[in-house]
Structure 1
Amino acid sequence: MPNQIRAKVLCLFRQGDRILVNQAHDTVKRQDYCRPLGGGIEFGETSTEALVREVREELSAEVINLRQVGTLENLFIYNGTPGHEIVVIYDGEFADASLYDEPFLSGVESNGERFQAQWRSLDSFSEALPLYPNGLLALLRPAKT
C-alpha cells in the first residue's frame, strides 16, 4: 500500500551470538539483506498476537517468552518503492527447543513464497549484507556479550 505507514512486528530468536533471519534480495539495489522473522500487525490485533500468528503461519512453530526490546521507525526504499513502517521488536523463544539445532528453518511467506531462515552471527552483518530494519543492529549491540 503506497503512502501508508505499516505496523510490523519482528522476533529475535537468539542462539548464543546468532539470531534467526531470512535473507532476501532487493533487485533494484542488487543487494542481499537480512531481516528477522515476523510480519504485519492486523487491525484489532496486538503486536504479541500478530507475532504468534506470523511465526505459526511462516514456520508452523510456537513462540513463547516474548519480551519487547524496542520499537523502530523505518523509512526505506525496497525494489524502487518507498516504504515507511513502525516495527515492534521482541525477543522470543521457540517452544520446541529442537528448532535451535537446525541450521536452517524452512518457511513460507503469506504470498506463498518459500524461504529458509538461517542462524547468523551479529558480526556477519555489514554494509554489504545489512540487517533490517535500520537501527536494529545498534539496538542489539548493547545486549551482545
Structure 2
Amino acid sequence: MKKAKKKPRIRPLAICVFRHEGRILVSENYDPTKRETFYRPLGGGIEFGERGIDAVAREIHEELGAAVRDLAYLGALENIFTYDGKPGHEIVLVYDGSFVNSSLYGRERLTGREGDALITVVWKPLTAFGPGSPPLYPDGLLELLSSAT
C-alpha cells in the first residue's frame, strides 16, 4: 500500500522586528536553489493554543536566549513563496519589540540557534533593502514597517 502524500499546509508564524538607530535585527539566510541570500526577522511557528505574542517571546528566547519586552502587534502578512525548490505558504503575525538586555543593541552580529543549527543574526539598515538588494521577507514587511512608524 502506498503511503499518502502529505498535503501542504499553511503555517502560522509570529516574528518580531527589533529596531535600533534605523536598523532592524534579521537572520541571514541562503536559498541554495535560487542562489540567493535573504533576510528575515526572528520568530517562528505558533503552536496550537498559543497566542502569537507568546510565540514571539518563546521563539526569541529559543533562538537567542534573550528576553523581550514591549511587544506590540503591527499587522499580519500572507507569504506565498518557494524555498529550496519547495512551495511554502505562511500567515505571519508581525510584532515590534525590545530586548530586556540592552547590550544586544551594541553588537553588530549575534549567533543564535534554530533547532540544532547555528544562525547568524545581524543589524541591517532599513535602507539596505529594496530593488537590487538581497530581499527582506516576508513580502510586504518593508511597507508594513513604513506605515507603522
TM over 0.5, yes or no?
Answer: yes
- Aligned partners of 2:74 and 2:148 also within 8 Å: no
TM-score (ref. length: structure 2):
0.92
Aligned match for 2:44, one of 19, 33, 39: 39
Distance 1:114 1:8 in 2: 20
Query: Residues 44-82 of structure 1: CA distance to partner in whole angstroms, max 9, x if unpaired?
Result: 111111111101100000010000001001100011100
Larger radius of gyration: 2
Aligned match for 2:54, one of 39, 49, 52: 49
Distance 2:92 2:7 in 1: 17
Report the counterpart of residue 113 of structure 1 in structure 2: 117
Distance 1:143 1:50 in 2: 21
Q: Please identify, of 53-62 and 135-144, the stretch whose mean Cα deviation from structure 2 is larger.
A: 135-144
Q: Which runs of 5+ in 1 are unaligned?
A: none
Distance 1:40 1:2 in 2: 18
Deviating beyond 4 angstroms after TM superposition, the runs of 4 or more aligned structure 1 residues are none
- The one-letter code sitting in structure 2 at the alignment partner of 1:24 is N
Q: Which runs of 5+ in 2 are unaligned?
A: 1-5
- The one-letter code sitting in structure 1 at the alignment partner of 2:45 is G
Q: Please identify, of 134-143 and 45-54, the stretch whose mean Cα deviation from structure 2 is larger.
A: 134-143
1:131 correspondence with 2:130:
no
Distance 2:60 2:107 in 1: 16
Distance 2:46 2:148 in 1: 26
**Structure 1 position 2, deviation (Å):** 5.3
Report the counterpart of residue 65 of structure 2 in structure 1: 60
Q: Percent identity?
A: 48
- Size of the aligned set, in residue pairs, is 143
**Structure 1 position 137, deviation (Å):** 0.9
